[in-house]
Amino acid sequence: MISVIVPIYNSEKYLDQCLASIVNQKYYDLEIILVNDGSTDSSGEICERYNESDNRVVLINKQNEGLVRARKDGVRRATGEYITFVDADDWIDVDTYVNLGDFKEDIVAYGLMEEYGYVSKAKTNYFADGYYDEHKIKECIIPEMLCTDNFFEFGMLPNLVCKLIKRSLFLKMMDEVSEDVTIGEDVDFFYRIVSEAKSLSIKSNCPYHYRQHFESMMKKDIPIEAIKKLYLDLLMIKGLKEEKEWGVQLKKYIIFIMLLKRTDKAIDLIKEIKDIDGEVVIYGAGAFGEKMYDKLKTNKKIEELYIVDKEWKNLNQKLFLVGNPETIVDINPDKIIISILNEKVCSNVREYLIEMGVDNNKIIKINFSDLYMTEVFDM
């Protein structure tokens, strides 16, 4: 049996879609645990309705104590051999669990679809599909588990929502995760679990739909104390702290978090754009590009500021207009900043711009490796 745990806090807008996608699974042997974490909207009433109509649904009503505690409370209540999670504003395909086959491993990891309004983007694990025993986990997975050589690319997606994990293993590790963690809680949970796993299988299908909210992507910077706490917690993971590669991966990850969550400070350290002026185009309207746009629009030396993206038709938001990259030639800007946090994709964009006829000297491709030499918490 699989125990599906749904942490819920004020999720009335999407909760029906989420829960319907779970109860209608072709795989019927489910225990569905709804953890209502002190919601003040109609989420509780929606949960009650599902609890009354389906005897597989278990409802936990509790005071608000945060996501980490909600996950732990759900796991403690679970009785299935395996557990998984679905966040209350997401949904899963109807054949999600039947398509995973006859799972016997400690962990079954699969992919997800990031949903940006009308745009869907598949996210899969870096490693090849297949079975990994304890030796292969230590030799192949752990050295690139958090970050591959390509900045920034997860080796194993940390999201708990696209994993089946043996409940006994989760219970063994979960008390090591602090309930005070406010950022990167999935990273803290999942990589501890991998460090103790004896077997793991990876599948490239993407049945989980992970809803991305513009408001959450643009939320205020995370306090540096929260990032420091995450860093120190991850640094001391029992099964990983002796691994040389872990420290290297961890620093890359923290820099990645800094670039997304303390963007103002991070941008000040990027030497390529310190003295930028004139007409400027930002290429890439993801979370980092949006925050860079927000930062640079206050720069008085910049005469005109534009942002473009290949998905421009679907990415126009209320706060600014996203343009078509093909307009770059007509704009003829002084500089073009590639604001993408994946070095391989950055290189591809640079080639695309050059093929378009853009002067290579106008293109700014951020050298993230320079930031590796920066003391992490100077930001």
Residue with tokens 């299908």: 205
Q: What is the pLDDT of residue 345?
A: 92
pLDDT tens for 297-331 read 999 999 999 999 998 887 765 457 899 999 999 99
Residue 2: DSSP 8-state: E
State whether residue 166 is helix, strand or coil.
strand
Do residues 46 and 53 make contact, with C-beta atoms less than 8 angstroms apart?
Answer: no
Residue 267's φ and ψ, nearest 5 degrees, are -60, -35
State whether residue 276 is helix, strand or coil.
coil
Out of 3.40.1780.10, 3.50.50.60, 3.40.50.720, 2.60.40.1840, the CATH code matching 265-372 is 3.40.50.720
Q: Provide the residue ranges of all domains of the chain, joining segments of one domain with +.
A: 2-212, 265-372
Residue with tokens 């209320």: 318
pLDDT tens for 251-304 read 899 989 988 888 877 787 788 888 899 999 999 998 889 889 988 999 999 999
Consecutive H or E run containing 200: strand 199-202
Q: What is the pTM of this model?
A: 0.90
Cis before 151? omega within 30: no
pLDDT tens for 164-204 read 999 999 999 999 999 988 889 999 999 999 999 999 999 99
pLDDT tens for 345-378 read 999 999 999 999 999 999 999 887 667 656 555 6
Do residues 264 and 236 make contact, with C-beta atoms less than 8 angstroms apart?
Answer: no
Give me the chain's average pLDDT, please. 92
Residue 306's φ and ψ, nearest 5 degrees, are -125, 160
Q: Provide, rounded to the nearest whole percent, the portion of the chain with pLDDT above 70.
A: 94
Residue 378: DSSP 8-state: G
Alpha helices (runs of H) in the chain, residue ranges in sequence order:
12-23, 43-53, 67-77, 134-136, 167-174, 185-196, 214-217, 224-235, 244-261, 263-268, 287-296, 312-315, 328-331, 343-356, 369-372
Distance (Å, rounded) from C-alpha 52 to C-alpha 225?
A: 43
Distance (Å, rounded) from C-alpha 251 to C-alpha 293?
A: 25
In whole angstroms, how far apart are CA 60 and each of 85, 92, 325?
A: 15, 22, 49
Distance (Å, rounded) from C-alpha 203 to C-alpha 215?
A: 31
2-212: CATH class = alpha beta
Beginning with the edge strand found earlier in the chain, give each strand of the sheet holding 112-116 in spatial order. 91-92, 208-211, 112-116, 119-123
* Sign of the alpha-carbon torsion through 296, 297, 298, 304: positive
Burial environment of residue 17 by CB neighbours within 10 A (0 to 12, 13 to 18, 19 or more): middle
Torsion region of 230: left, alpha or beta (phi above 0 gives left; psi -120 to 50 gives alpha): alpha
In whole angstroms, how far apart are CA 47 and each of 11, 31, 71, 105, 150?
A: 11, 14, 16, 31, 42
Which residues touch 286 (CB under 8 Å, ≥6 apart)? 309, 339, 340, 341
Residue with tokens 């051999």: 81
Does the structure show a pLDDT above 50 at 131?
A: yes
Say if 2-212 and 265-372 have the same CATH topology.
no
